[in-house]
Structures are given as C-alpha cells and as structure tokens.
Structure 1
Amino acid sequence: MSRALTIRNILDKKHQTFAFTGLYHEIFGNPEKSGAWLIYGKDKNGKTWGTLLLSAYFSLIMGVKLLYISAEQGISASFKDAIIRAKLDPSNKNFHFKGYISLQELYVLLGKRNPPLVVVIDNITFYTDELKNGALRKLLKDFPNTLFIFLAHEERGKPYTAAATLCQKIAEIIIHVKGLMLIVSGRCPGGMLAIDEEKAALYHGQNPN
C-alpha cells in the first residue's frame, strides 16, 4: 500500500504538461501529457475536421508525434477530402495515420521504441467491445505517458455507446462539437474554438462580419 501524501507532497509533485500558447492556452490551459480527452457531436458538425486541426496543433506546433486512427472512415477518399479541407501541412512528419487497428495491435505499437505521445481514436464506437470490462481504464493505466483523444457520436445530446459514456466520466477535457464550433469544458479554463469562423457564425445566428 502506498503512503498517504501531505499537502506539501502534492504541491511539490511535478506533472508533465503541454505548454500551449495563445488562444489554445486561454481555453485548454496547460493540459497533462496523459489521460483521456473526449470529442463528441452529431454527424456533419465538424468532429473530424476540428480534430484534425487540433491534431495539427499537437504535432506541428507542440512538436509531438501523433497517431490518428481513422477506424470509422479508414484512409478513404472522404477522409482525404477532410485532410484537404483542414489544410494540413504535408511536410508535417509528426502526424501519422492508420485505418482501424485492434486494441491488441495498438498495445504492440505503443510498446515500441519512439511511440506516439498522442493517440486519436476516431471513432470509439469501433472499439466498444474491446474497451469494455475495464479495458478503457487499463489502457490509460498501462500507458501513463500517452494522451488518448477519443471521438464519439452523439445521441440525445450525450456521447453514444457505453464506452463513450465512461470516457466522458474519466476524461480530463471534453469537447462538444456543434455547428462547426468546439465547445471545450472539463478540467481546463474552457471556451469555444471555431472550426470555420464564417460558417460557424452563420450556424449560431451571428453576423460573420
């Protein structure tokens, strides 16, 4: 059994965090380089687009190796269109993609030398069976130096599937995507990021000018 900590122990504890800047820092603060985030929303509201932009920030601006698992769309023509729409930089060598891989394959990949420090799983629905019976918590425990970002569908205003519901409960940061806006909450300052400022303004009944 581990010993109990004093207030001084806790205050002196060092945490590995991302040094976000600008608007990202205002909204996310300096999030830890571990744990889980959840991004959810209805179809055609900008989940993939917004997540690609966020992933570009991690990999290009923060300079960390990121793996985007496109389990739902695969490396399809529509996913290619999403990459083009997000205007991702082709010279960004920290941003890597895979289609669906099993949880077992992910374990093998993360156990290799120089693994990705951020893993995006799009969509958690495709891992519902693999992440049940405590497997989600085990994944986070087994890889304490990896940040996992899970995407989920929305049904009746909430993240869909039991795995997504659990993820919402344990996630440090929760992002609700609605009308091309990322609405950020959780253990961070919180706020809103526009995926496409003009279209988002029109959706939310504002004048883009």
Structure 2
Amino acid sequence: MSKKKSDRAYSVSNVITKKFYPLAFEGKFEASYGKPDKSFSAMFYGDSSNGKTEAAIQFAKYLTKFGKVDYNSLEQGLSATMRDAIERNNMEACENTFRLLDRMPFNKLIERFSKSKSADFLIVDSVQYLRITKAQYYQLKELMLEKKKGIVWISQASGKKPKGALADDIRFDVDIKNWVEGFKVFPDGRLNGGGEPFIVYPERAAKYWNEIV
C-alpha cells in the first residue's frame, strides 16, 4: 500500500475556511508541544534509560483530558515495570480514559481502531517491536487520519536518530519529533507553538545535565 494521495484541488477560500481541531494544551504541555491538531502524529525517541516511556506515560495522561487513550505496550507488556510507571504517574486518575494494550499486534490494532467507539489517541511502544512494513505504517496512519485520531510512536535510538530505516522515516513524517535525553524531552517539528524542553524527572534531569556540563 502506497501513501494515500488526494486528487482534490482546494481554492484559497477552501484552505482558509478549512476547520481544524487544535487541542487546548496549557501550561508546560503547551510550552513544549504547542496546540497540536486532534489528529496529530508524534514520536518520542532516545537511548534506553533516558525517560522515553516515562515521558510517553505523562503525555498519555495529559491526553486523557481530551479523549480516550490506548497505550500499546509492546516492549514491556503487562509487566511490573509498566505497573510501576503507571502507579508513579497516578494513572488511577484516568481510570476510565486510559487503557493499556498488552502487546497488541498490527492486525488487531487496525481492527480495534476501525470501530466507531475506539480510543481518540494511540501510543505505540515501540516502532521496533510492532514489526511492521512501511506500507503497514501508512495503512495505520491513514486510518487514524480518516477517524481524526492522534498517534504517538516511541522508538529506540541509534546515536541521535531513531533505530532502523522505518523508524527514521516515521520521524520525518510525524508532526512532532521529541528527542529524549537525560530525562528531558526536546520537541521539534510542526508544533503550532511550543518548543521548550519538557522535564520528565526534575531531580534526575538536573543530575544528568549538571554532570555533562
């Protein structure tokens, strides 16, 4: 499946009057991530033990203010470490709007998000463990756009880039690109505002960055 193209031509007035649905982010989330459209795409990537999953869990919790969130935990699944992350971030507060998917494969994700009452946002942890092709990536992307739903990818890193050709392609394609290092998130891309570093763990971030100065 190739990337979907549109054969429609839009006039200037069509473009100007086109309605979008920016999420009303506030505070530190707006400062870092701006006000993304509801059907935004994003990626968090970085080396292990730098706070990627923690950053994604915190982002997921904030997204529950705007709709339901499915977090597909492919690397850790329903594990003690994932439970600890959920408890650490007080996810009990979003009991009815957050669901942990335990290593759900691609075909089941397509089936789940094709349903009318599926979640508003999907977080995939991680690109490498979902084991999909580029064509399958675009299939999921187009489904989420069609349903006006947001998608967030988490990726391992190789140096300063996502690990693997597909993950790097996704980084170029998504709206918001988030490099995670030393328990800080460094947002970039089509932010609609934002751009300030997001602190995942204040104490651990301070220790890490003070040590490398």
TM-score, structure 2 length as denominator?
Answer: 0.88
Q: Is 1:15 aligned to 2:16, yes or no?
A: no
What residue ranges of structure 2 are gaps of 5+ in the alignment?
A: 1-5
**Equivalent AA in structure 2 for residue 42 of structure 1:** D
- What does residue 97 of structure 1 align with? 100
Q: Is the 1:118–1:148 Cα contact (8 Å) retained in structure 2?
A: yes
Moved more, 23-32 or 34-43: 23-32
Q: 2:42 aligns with which of 12, 28, 37?
A: 37
Please give the secondary structure, in 1, of the residue aligned with 2:118.
coil
1:171 is aligned with what amino acid? Answer: V
The residue type paired with residue 142 of structure 1 is: L
Secondary structure of residue in 2 paired with 1:115 = coil
The yes-or-no answer on 1:115 pairing with 2:157 is no
1:154 to 131, 136, 157: 157
Cα shift at 1:33: 1.4
Query: Corresponding residue for 2:137?
Result: 136
The structure richer in helix per residue is 2
Q: Which position in structure 1 is the counterpart of 2:197?
A: 192
> Against the structure 1 CA distance between its residues 154 and 91, is the aligned structure 2 distance closer, same or farther, given a 3 Å change threshold?
closer
The Cα RMSD (Å) is 1.7
Change (3 A) 1:104 1:81: same
CA distance in 1, matches of 2:77, 2:14: 46
The percentage of counterpart residues that share the same residue type is: 25
SS, match of residue 210 in structure 2:
coil
| SS of residue matched to 1:148 | strand
Instruction: Say which of 37, 43, 60 aligns to 1:55.
Output: 60
Task: State how 1:157-196 maps to structure 2 within 5 Å.
Answer: 157-188=160-191, 189-196=194-201
Distance in 2, matches of 1:172 and 1:125, equals 20
Deviates more, 1:87-96 or 1:190-199: 87-96
Q: Tell me what 1:83 maps to.
A: 86
Instruction: Report SS of the residue matched to 1:45.
Output: coil
Match of 1:69 among 65, 72, 85: 72
- How far apart are the structure 1 equivalents of 2:47 and 2:69? 25
Letter in 1 for 2:44: I
Distance 1:127 1:91 in 2: 25
Report the Cα distance in structure 2 between the residues aligned to 1:111 and 1:119, rounded to whole angstroms.
Answer: 12
Q: Deviations over 1:40-79 (max 9, x none)?
A: 01101111111101100011x33x1000000000101111
Runs of at least 5 residues in structure 1 that lack an aligned partner in the other structure: none
Structure with the bigger RCO (C-alpha within 8 Å, sep 6+) is 2
Please report how far the alpha carbon of residue 143 of structure 1 lies from its aligned counterpart in structure 2 after TM superposition: 2.5
- Structure 2 contact 134–166 (Cα < 8 Å) conserved: no
- Paired residue for 2:32? 27
The Cα of 1:4 is off from its aligned counterpart by: 2.3
- Report the Cα distance in structure 1 between the residues aligned to 2:19 and 2:7, rounded to whole angstroms: 18
Q: How far apart, in 1, do the equivalents of 2:91 and 2:38 lie?
A: 23
